[in-house]
Amino acid sequence: MQIPYTVETRPDTGLYNAKLGIWLFLASEVMLFGSLFSSYILLRTGAPVWPHGRDMGLNVPLATLNTLILIGSSVTMVMSWASLKLKDFAKFRLYMGLTILCALGFMVIKAIEYSAKFHHHLYPSKNTFLAVYFTLTGLHGLHVLGGMIVNGYLWGPGAKLWKRDPERFTNRIEVAGLYWHFVDLVWIFLFPTLYLL
Amino acid sequence: MDAHAQAHDDHDSPEAIRRQTRLYILVFAALMALTVITVAVSYLHLSPHLAVLVALLIAGIKGSMVAAYFMHLISEKKAIYAILILTVAFFVVLMAIPTLSHWDQRFMP
């Protein structure tokens, strides 16, 4: 059975189905991260004192570098989609490869940050700040990992679809891109609220 | 070809895509600059309320740029706007929960 509306738009929504699907998924993701942010605000405003990220040993220069890397990966992701729109598959491969490398760089830096905390016996159980920090950054890190797996598939074996059905493959990249930009967007709020305030 | 299909074709033409890629580079530069600014501001030792306001304002601008240009929300279909309006409404409720708790504590006898 053929999956309907993978390329052509549905008359009632004006969208291909995967695009509607990813936006519904992202709406649920907004609520997931929103509930954690809400809990963070509640815990922070309810606490008699709240430490500054720097005082808890958070590495602001490394996190700033990570922010720049993730923003960079968002640009390469959207450029990979634009390359397919321009029928330039080689450039798609280049930009998608760079996106995956940036994601890998982000995860390596995050691992360095985490290991520095563990080295100093700073675990989630130590205090509320660290519990919030590890929960939010850990969940975000899992999202980065998920994006890397999907993008890796689309860069590698999944790219065969380009030869069979280029428009459908371009739509897959757009959908993967929407997810990836959302992951970037979440970090844009996590970075100042955890590290800088 | 009707007007809507014509608009869609214009939006997806190679010229339009090339124009968009130039815009992506500009947005990228702006996002980088705003990241540096938000870090620099954090070293100014502003009052806590002002620091939160400035940090969230900059994050809001950055987030809006990502959503508008990279996620193409600046020109999307009505169905997606409808989903997002509902999402924003529930998100606002979520963010209001800590405020309710704050007022509850303040006025409890």
pLDDT digit string, tens, across residues B88-102: 999 999 999 888 877
More confident residue, B7 or A61: A61
Measure CB to CB from residue A23 to each of B80, B90, B102 and give the nearest one. Answer: B80
Q: Is residue A2 part of a domain?
A: no
Q: What pLDDT does residue B1 have?
A: 42
Which chain B residues touch A71 with a CB distance below 8 Å? Answer: 28, 31-32, 35
Q: Nearest chain B Cα to A37, which residue?
A: B95
The three-state DSSP-derived secondary structure of chain B is CCHHHHHHHHHHCHHHHHHHHHHHHHHHHHHHHHHHHHHHHHCCCCCHHHHHHHHHHHHHHHHHHHHHHHCCHHHCCHHHHHHHHHHHHHHHHHHHHHHHHHHHHHHCC
Distance to chain A for B109, nearest Cα, Å: 17
pLDDT digit string, tens, across residues B17-67: 999 999 999 999 999 999 999 999 999 989 989 999 999 999 999 999 999
Q: Tell me how many domains chain A contains.
A: 1
pLDDT digit string, tens, across residues B68-88: 999 999 989 999 999 999 999
Coil, helix or strand at residue A84: helix
Which chain A residues touch B84 with a CB distance below 8 Å? Answer: 23, 27
| CATH number of the domain encompassing residue A120 | 1.20.120.80
B33 touches A: beta carbon within 8 Å: no
Q: Is residue A93 part of a domain?
A: yes
* Model confidence at A177: pLDDT above 90: yes
The residue range of the domain holding A181 is 17-196
Contact A197 B52 (CB under 8 A): yes
- Comparing CA positions, the residue from A139, A122, A128 lying closest to residue A42 is A128
Q: Is residue A47 part of a domain?
A: yes
pLDDT digit string, tens, across residues A31-77: 999 999 999 999 998 899 998 888 888 999 999 999 999 999 999 99
A72-98 mean pLDDT: 97
Q: Is residue A11 part of a domain?
A: no
Here the ipTM equals 0.93
Measure CB to CB from residue B77 to each of A13, A42, A77 and give the nearest one. Answer: A13
Residue A190 CA from chain centroid, whole number: 12
Contact B63 A189 (CB under 8 A): yes
* Model confidence at B10: pLDDT above 80: no
Q: What pLDDT does residue B109 have?
A: 62
Contact B38 A192 (CB under 8 A): yes
Q: Is residue A7 part of a domain?
A: no
A82-101 mean pLDDT: 97
* Model confidence at A136: pLDDT above 80: yes
Q: Is residue A97 part of a domain?
A: yes
Chain A interface disruption, residue of B24, B25, B26, most A CBs within 10 A: B24
How far apart are alpha carbons B63 and B61 in whole angstroms?
A: 6
